[in-house]
Amino acid sequence: MQTAHQTREKSDFHGMIGRSDSMRRVYDLIGRFAGMDNNVLITGETGTGKELVARALHAAGPRAKGRMIRVNCAALCESLIESEFFGHTAGAFTDAAGDRAGYFEAADGGTIFLDEIAELSPRSQAKLLHVLDRKMFEHVGESQTVGVDVRIIGATNADLKTYVREGKLRQDFCFRLREFSIGLPPLRDHMEDIPLLADHFIRLAGSGKKGAITGISHEVRELLMGYAWPGNVRQLKNIITFACAICPSGELTTDYLPGGFPESEDRPDAEQRLPRALKRKMLVDALEANRWNKSRAARWLGMGRSTLYRKLAEFGITAP
């Protein structure tokens, strides 16, 4: 069994968990872009953690003392978008009983995070592009311009080239927003982070729990490592949170996993699924995490010492 305290390392970057090469590249880009004022577009599948990246960019930059306002673009009502973004004066339209500040005014000096930005209509994209270019806007119902100082961070899981080709996304708006870009990998491309993520979610779920959850069983670990994770990190969090809620204490076993998980079509054999390079890296990571103590590394990996020795010989791994 792999216990929680054994995986707890310096792998938390502004709330993002992982020390795989692909996640380290994400951290590097965040570090490079945070101190600049350029617009940033974050891309990635659903559940990969795009909002966490946006919050890290804001928190690590010079606008950290300002507000970061998240806008779910997919949930905006088209007829009220101008009022939502730019605010309105009393009487500007039927239901405008009083003056109201919009997102741009409320976030002045800070950041606006436009989630699901590709779901904005081309008409709304044009209006936002106008503000991004001029750094000024008008309240609905008046003609006086208001200066604004905000950084725009957008996020989408859409195929941008397809959206542009189909006319759903204006190319000029896309170019203006994507001054810098950060692409998040799907969980299936950095599966070596799953043990750390599972440990993190166990700690979150167990913070107010009476019985302590000590970790995950070897069988659960194999299931997690062999699953395709179509819902990415968010799906993993939901699975672990559910299991922790019904597990009284001790280790999480397959008895506590949600019914129907994992679906058979998303459950190839774990050992066959993992690339050879990833298998080797997982072994080295376990050894390094345990200072090359093979007994502890074997327990960390949930395998016997003889199995570990066989795998070390298979991959030609020797102590430095």
CATH number for the domain that contains residue 245: 1.10.8.60
Shared domain for 41 and 152, answered yes or no, is: yes
Residues 162 and 303 in one domain: no
Q: Which two tokens stand for residue 136?
A: 């000024």
Taking only the tens place, the pLDDT of each residue in 119-174 is: 999 999 999 999 999 988 877 767 778 888 999 999 999 999 999 999 999 999 99
Residue by residue, DSSP assigns 173-191 as: HHHHHTTEEEEPPPGGG-G
Residue 3 lies in a domain: no
Q: Give the C-alpha separation, 188 to 229, whole Å.
A: 6
Whether the predicted pLDDT of 207 surpasses 70: no
Q: Is the pTM of this model over 0.75?
A: yes
Q: Are 256 and 219 in contact (CB under 8 A)?
A: no
Residue 118 has pLDDT above 70, yes or no: yes
In a domain, 80, yes or no: yes
User: Does residue 148 share a domain with residue 58?
Assistant: yes
Domain count of the fold of the chain: 2
Whether residue 178 contacts residue 117, with contact meaning beta carbons closer than 8 Å, is answered with no
Structural domain range at position 195: 188-315
Q: Which residue has the tokens 């592009």?
A: 129
Query: What value does the mean pLDDT of the chain take?
Result: 84
pLDDT in tens, 38-91: 999 999 999 999 999 999 999 999 999 999 999 999 888 887 888 888 886 654
**16 in Cβ contact with 52 (< 8 Å):** yes
pLDDT at 184 over 90: yes
Residue with tokens 């209509």: 121
Would 60 be classed as within a structural domain? yes
Question: Within this chain, do residues 144 and 48 fall inside the same structural domain, yes or no?
Answer: yes
Q: Predicted confidence band at 96 (pLDDT cuts at 50, 70, 90)?
A: low
Q: What proportion of the chain, given as a percentage, has pLDDT over 90? A: 48
Inside any domain, residue 4: no
> Residue 63 contacts by C-beta under 8 Å, 6 or more apart in sequence?
109, 110, 111, 151
What's the pLDDT at 275? 61
Q: Is residue 215 part of a domain?
A: yes
Q: Give yes or no: residues 24 and 138 share one domain.
A: yes
Split at pLDDT 50, 70, 90, the class of 34 is very high
Across the range 247-259, mean pLDDT stands at 87
The pLDDT score that the predictor gives to residue 320 is 79
Say yes or no: 32 and 119 in one domain. Answer: yes
3-class SS of residue 208? coil
Last residue of a domain, which of 158, 183, 208?
Answer: 183
Q: What is the pLDDT of residue 303?
A: 65
Q: State which of 118, 149, 183 marks the end of a domain.
A: 183
For residue range 257-311, what is the model confidence (pLDDT) as tens digits?
887 777 644 444 444 545 677 678 778 877 887 778 888 777 666 667 777 888 8
At 87, give phi and psi (nearest 5°): 80, 175
Residue 104 lies in a domain: yes
Tokens of 281: 């890296």
Q: Both tokens of residue 316?
A: 């030609």
142/105 Cα distance (integer angstroms): 15
CATH number, residue 104: 3.40.50.300
Among 135, 163, 183, identify where a domain stops.
Answer: 183
Distance between CA 47 and CA 205 in Å, rounded?
18
| φ, ψ of residue 297 in degrees (nearest 5) | -65, -40
CA distances from 170 to 48, 120, 211 (A): 25, 10, 53
CA 296 from chain centre, in angstroms, equals: 31
- d(Cα 276, Cα 285) in Å, to the nearest integer? 14
pLDDT category of residue 200 using cuts at 50, 70 and 90: very high
Residue 62 located in a structural domain: yes
More confident residue, 264 or 33: 33
Q: Are residues 246 and 133 in the same domain?
A: no
Bridge-partner residues for 100, per DSSP?
88
pLDDT of residue 259: 75
